[in-house]
C-alpha cells in the first residue's frame, strides 16, 4: 500500500540507497496517517506515481515544482506527503547516516516552501547499535 512496483525494483537494484526514504515513509504513515510518494515521483515515466501526482497537484503546481527543481538543478524533496483525500500536506527531504544537505537543496527547499505554502521537513535517519 505504501510502495509501488517501481519502488520495489529500486530497492532490489540499489539495496543500500533507499532505506532512509522508506523508513521515513513508514514513519509518517504510522504516526500521522500520511501517505508518501517516494523518490522520483516527479518523473512521468513512472505511471502510477504520475497518476497519483495528477490527483495531488494540478498541472500549474506540477509545472511550478518542475521549474523550481530545474532552476536549482536538483530533484524535488524525497517524499511528497499527502492525506486520505489526496491533498498535499508537506514535503520531506530525507538524509541518511552518510548524507548531507547540499546548498542547492537548501535553496530548492526554501523555494518549494514559498511556492506551495506547506512545510518541507528535513528528516535525519541514523543507525543506532542496540
pLDDT tens-digit map of 25-40 = 999 999 999 999 987 7
- pLDDT digit string, tens, across residues 14-28: 767 788 888 999 999
Task: Kindly report the backbone phi and psi dihedral angles of residue 40, in degrees, each rounded to the nearest multiple of 5, phi listed first.
Answer: 60, 20
3-class DSSP state for residue 41?
coil
CA separation, residue 106 to residues 54, 73, 75 (Å):
26, 12, 12
The pTM of the full predicted model, rounded to 2 decimals, is: 0.89
User: pLDDT category, 44, cuts 50, 70, 90?
Assistant: low
- Flag whether 52 is in a domain: yes
Range of the domain at 105: 5-124
Is 16 within the bounds of a domain?
yes
Q: Is 56 a residue whose pLDDT tops 80?
A: yes
Gap between the terminal Cα atoms of the chain:
30
For residue 130, tell me if it sits in a domain.
no
Please check whether residue 129 lies inside any domain of the structure: no
Residue 25 lies in a domain: yes
Task: Check residue 46 and report its DSSP letter.
Answer: S
Based on the structure, what is the number of domains in the chain? Answer: 1
- The verdict on residue 105 lying in a domain is yes
Residue 92 lies in a domain: yes
Amino acid at each position: 500500500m505504501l510502495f509501488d512496483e517501481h519502488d520495489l525494483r529500486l530497492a532490489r537494484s540499489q539495496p543500500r540507497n533507499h532505506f532512509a526514504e522508506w523508513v521515513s515513509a513508514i514513519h509518517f504513515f504510522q504516526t500521522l496517517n500520511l501517505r508518501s510518494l517516494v523518490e522520483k515521483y516527479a518523473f512521468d515515466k513512472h505511471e502510477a506515481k504520475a497518476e497519483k501526482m495528477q490527483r495531488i497537484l494540478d498541472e500549474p503546481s506540477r509545472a511550478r515544482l518542475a521549474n523550481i527543481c530545474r532552476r536549482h538543478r536538483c530533484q524535488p524533496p524525497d517524499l511528497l506527503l499527502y492525506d486520505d483525500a489526496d491533498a498535499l500536506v508537506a514535503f520531506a527531504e530525507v538524509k541518511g547516516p552518510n548524507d548531507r544537505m547540499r546548498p542547492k537543496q537548501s535553496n530548492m527547499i526554501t523555494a518549494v516552501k514559498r511556492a506551495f505554502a506547506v512545510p518541507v521537513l528535513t528528516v535525519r535517519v541514523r543507525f543506532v547499535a542496540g
